């Protein structure tokens, strides 16, 4: 999520930073959307998910 944030919507750069193929990243983002009902192409949904992850980290509920 942080890498996608740093690279905005540039999936090629985000995939390279994650050492995965761009199609793999696209697939994982689609699966995330299906499983959570959140479309990360929406800036509001992206912010909501990002804030939830940050809150979970602060509470010790999520690993780095």
Task: Name the token pair of 48.
Answer: 């909501």
Q: Which helix (H) or strand (E) holds 63?
A: none
pLDDT band with cut points at 50, 70 and 90 for residue 18: very high
Mean pLDDT of 30-37: 94
**Hey, what are 53's tokens?**
């992850």
How far is it, in rounded angstroms, from Cα 45 to Cα 9?
Answer: 14
Q: Note the pLDDT tens digit of each residue in 35-57.
A: 999 998 888 999 999 999 999 99
What residue spans define the domains of the chain?
2-58
Q: How far apart are CA 51 and CA 64, in angstroms?
A: 14
The pLDDT > 90 percentage for the chain reads 56
pTM of model > 0.85: no
């Amino acid at each position: 999520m942080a890498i996608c944030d740093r690279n905005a919507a540039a999936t090629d750069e985000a995939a390279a930073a994650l050492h995965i193929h761009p199609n793999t990243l696209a697939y994982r983002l689609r699966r995330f959307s299906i499983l959570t009902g959140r479309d990360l192409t929406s800036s509001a949904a992206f912010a909501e998910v990002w804030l939830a992850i940050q809150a979970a980290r602060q509470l010790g509920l999520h690993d780095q």
